[in-house]
Chains A and B, each alone.
Chain A
């Protein structure tokens, strides 16, 4: 029962959701909280969007870990170190889910032809 309620909150298609694609928690946050306390997130995508992307990509448990990690970092030291983007005349830190789950195993996007090479995390031959 608890798991059912929890998945309803986090997974897409929750009851009363803004659209059938959005989880209930995301819709509630966007329509009730975000509209009243104005746009304060220092990242792009915003923490709510990031959480939604994380849950959609990795499921509720890993999505929760990623989302909480982002909430701790939001507005902190990490904001200055990330690549900056300008949206609507304001600077934001660019931090999509792919910037934080890149070490979780094989990343399909890196295998696609035409994707620029990335610097490996470890170098064999220099150890």
Chain B
């Protein structure tokens, strides 16, 4: 049988809510896994209420939960827990992102889970990891970002730090979790044993420091990374420049300085003692920025300028808005942005699948579940009789909803 994608046949029991966990299990769905989304009765994943909503349906929820099967039950009820134990026994992966300790209090700590299924890979996602002085703090993206020394490096030098308006932390942590789950699954094909994974927002943010940690450490503190607004503090020119109407990201450092000077018809600056080196240019950053912005604005043709810079192979980009990306032909051709359909919301756009496999096309027919939509289907799959499902629904252990 031809598999639909790489994870065809794998089952994931997904206790996660909000963003970091659901973004991990979303990628698992997109790679063909069956993901059972366990939602806590009565309301389910709190993001079902997040804006933007249309027809009482949250686009935020839909983006992260397409293709998952919804199982909504009362986790504190012994009958609900017993059903989950049976699902643990038949799953390949268990994913959770409660605060450390909570999953064990719910009866699904690693020791218990491995008893139920020695082959299962359990992945715990948290803000600060399963142990250590900060473990008990709430796992919120920007809180971990601040602790990771990241927020401090964003914004104007003479003002407060700026808040990036997207979820580097949660989504990136989700991808780290998916990578770790993979290594554990690969390992299981050879050892037959599962294991427990401890993935945190803090670790994943910190992992992105490509320079700062070793530069501070190896220089004995002589190098101090700092936020510096629109321009890099240690490389020049590298930053955001004002054109005649729009902003440009431009890098004219290293071997790009000479071609940049030629495009600007300022060959005299290529070997000029004040501008030939990065150190010299950093010392005269104001002059360099004014020079480049003066030239950009004098052309009075942002599109033409961009084309000339790119033709000269100088790294350069317009600073696009979200609206511009959605309409951009490259994003459309590559499906970096894609239009999806929801039963209640209709058509709208979300980011594309970032992992592209030559042997498997993108799985397109995915719908986010209604609350408890697949209760009966999932439980019938592990041998629960229809009458019992009806009785559990009657008793409020199983819950469904029309959104």
Instruction: Please say whether chains A and B are actual partners in one complex.
Output: no
